[in-house]
Amino acid sequence: MPVKDTTDFAQSGFTPYKVKKGEEYMGTDMKVHFKAILNSWKQELMQEADRTKVHMQTDAENYADPNDRASQEEEFSLELRTRDRERKLIRKIDKTLELIENDDYGYCEACGIEVGVRRLEARPTADQCIDCKTLAEIKERQIGK
């Protein structure tokens, strides 16, 4: 079973939001759009977790050959690490859905300006504007050295 990369959001059937002239940022239509994206993404991740569970239950074999057994254990280990990252992502999606409900979604947590519709469509869980995120990444690299 191939492991799917879920670090980047790419949903099939996704239609970009068309901002209407004079439309208020994070108005009702925009919130509905992002809630749909987030709920769809969450559902996709949960289905993937279910598929992994079934795969591991049905495909678990006790191979006589140590190399085959090691390969299977490594495959399962990789899948479990991926599912753990997805579990954390689901929590972040839930937090983001809560922000929408509280009218706090779409604004940078560092400086308070609008994150922007296109950035949120690229990364629906983004909580910083591009400038603050870039600055945070630069600081992180400097500390890491």
36, 37, 54, 71, 93 from 43: Cα distances, Å: 10, 10, 17, 30, 11
pLDDT at 11: 52
For the chain, how long is the longest CA-to-CA vector? 68
Residue ranges in the chain modelled with pLDDT below 50:
1-10
Instruction: Walk me through the domains of the chain, giving residue ranges and CATH numbers.
Output: 25-105 (1.20.120.910), 106-145 (no CATH)
Q: Are 128 and 136 in contact (CB under 8 A)?
A: yes
pLDDT at 64: 77
Backbone angles phi, psi at 11, to 5 degrees: -105, 130
Per residue in 79-121, pLDDT tens?
Answer: 889 889 999 999 999 999 999 999 999 999 999 999 999 999 9
pLDDT at 6: 44
pLDDT at 66: 81
